């Protein structure tokens, strides 16, 4: 139980980012697409404007999905580091951040309902919102007591 208390929302976000990245580079995930990215030194992952408008046969949707999955995983790691640095000092996250994070996750759940966004990130976003609210409320009560004295 002691180790569970040390896991912050930031660590959960870092883990989600690492899992995203690992899935892209694995042969069971998007390994073929990632190998193509690697071969071009990540310079040309798509045909660019030549693939527009996005239609079957013209657009390589697998490359786009693999790229965004990889890119999202890379982006969420520094976000997790930031959240962890705030939480390890026993500070609460800004409420607008947790609400914004929940909104982004809800949009993702609507757009891709049978995904990790729904099954992993939605419960995490709700947990982050509730736990952060309770932490902020507890901090406000302590501060009110301190200011009263």
Q: Where are the domains of the chain?
A: 1-83, 92-149
What whole-number distance in Å separates Cα of residue 30 and Cα of residue 67? 9
* DSSP state letter for 83: H
Supply the pTM of this predicted model: 0.77
Q: Give the pLDDT of residue 104.
A: 94
What whole-number distance in Å separates Cα of residue 34 and Cα of residue 149? 61
Mean pLDDT in each 10-residue stretch from start to end of the chain (149 residues)? 76 93 83 78 69 70 78 92 91 91 94 89 94 85 72
Beta carbons of 25 and 31 less than 8 angstroms apart: yes
What whole-number distance in Å separates Cα of residue 63 and Cα of residue 23? 14
């Amino acid at each position: 139980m002691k180790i569970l208390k040390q896991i912050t929302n930031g660590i959960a976000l870092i883990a989600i980012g690492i899992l995203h990245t690992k899935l892209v580079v694995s042969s069971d995930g998007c390994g073929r697409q990632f190998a193509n990215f690697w071969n071009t030194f990540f310079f040309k992952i798509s045909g660019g404007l030549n693939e527009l408008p996005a239609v079957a046969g013209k657009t390589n949707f697998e490359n786009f999905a693999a790229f965004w999955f990889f890119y999202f995983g890379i982006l969420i790691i520094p976000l997790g580091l930031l959240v962890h640095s705030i939480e390890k000092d026993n500070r609460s996250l800004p409420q607008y951040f947790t609400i914004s994070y929940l909104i982004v996750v809800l949009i993702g759940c609507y757009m891709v309902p049978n995904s990790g966004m729904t099954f992993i990130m939605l419960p995490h976003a709700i947990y982050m919102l509730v736990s952060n609210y309770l932490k902020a409320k507890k901090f406000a009560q302590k501060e009110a007591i301190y200011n009263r004295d």
